[in-house]
Structures are given as C-alpha cells and as structure tokens.
Amino acid sequence: IKYLNDLPGEKQSGEKSFALRQFILKPGQDDYYPMTYLNELKKNECVLYPSGSPEFVGKLRKAFYEEDRLSMRILIDFGVDASKIMNDVLRKNLPCEPDILKIVFSSKKIDLNTKYG
C-alpha cells in the first residue's frame, strides 16, 4: 500500500486499480477476503477499472446468483458497474432477497430513470 501511495499522481490510479484487480480476480479466490487489505485499498480510493469489464461483471453476476452478499458488496463498493446485471435482477420469476436488492441498488452506476430490460 505504501508503494502505491508513493507513486506519482498520474501513475497512482492505474497501479491502484491493477493491484485491486489482481487481488479480486485471484484464481482460487472462493471465499474470505482479507478485510484489512481491502480496507486500506478503500481508504486509498482504489477502484476497479474498467468498471464494466466482463471479468468484474461476471464475478458480480456469479455472486448475485449464489447470493454471496460479501462478494457483491466488495465488488460494488470498489466500483463494478452493477447496471450491467440489472436484466438479471429484474427477471420475472426470479425471487430476490431484499438485502441483495439493497446491495445492488447501493451502486452509484445504477440510474433509476433508465429503463432496463
């Protein structure tokens, strides 16, 4: 983390995104995230870029269908574009827990005035 903070400003955002990307998309990352590491990245304003990347959206979609609240919260908090899974969220005959909906709609990428689906 200190290394990321010591980089020049124009390089910092790209390197922060890369570090976060490597951590989030690490092969075999099935369950627990080291929260202290994520907390430090969050404090340093790291975001996943590009937010609509198929890897990130795919991981968010998988977490949505598995009702993995922790992964969903982490991905959305770090900027994954939740609007890309709105068709899944709004599907008919797909029951969805209210706390899952709260997580999805906490995304800054969702525009309530947009017609999805």
How many angstroms separate the CA atoms of 108 and 79, rounded? 8
* pLDDT, tens only, 1-21: 677 777 777 788 888 888 888
Helix (H, G, I), strand (E, B), or coil: what is residue 97?
Answer: coil
Can you tell me which residue has the tokens 């590009």?
A: 50
Give the pLDDT of residue 28. Answer: 64
Give the pLDDT of residue 32. Answer: 53
* Residues 6 or more apart whose Cβ sits within 8 Å of residue 61: 84, 85, 88
Distances (CA, A) of 108 to 31, 65, 77, 105: 25, 21, 9, 8
- Nearest to 76, CA basis, from 38, 30, 116: 38
More confident residue, 72 or 42: 72
Token pair in block for residue 27? 């092969």
What integer is the mean pLDDT of 96-100? 91
More confident residue, 24 or 52: 52
pTM for the model stands at 0.83
User: What's 82's DSSP letter?
Assistant: G
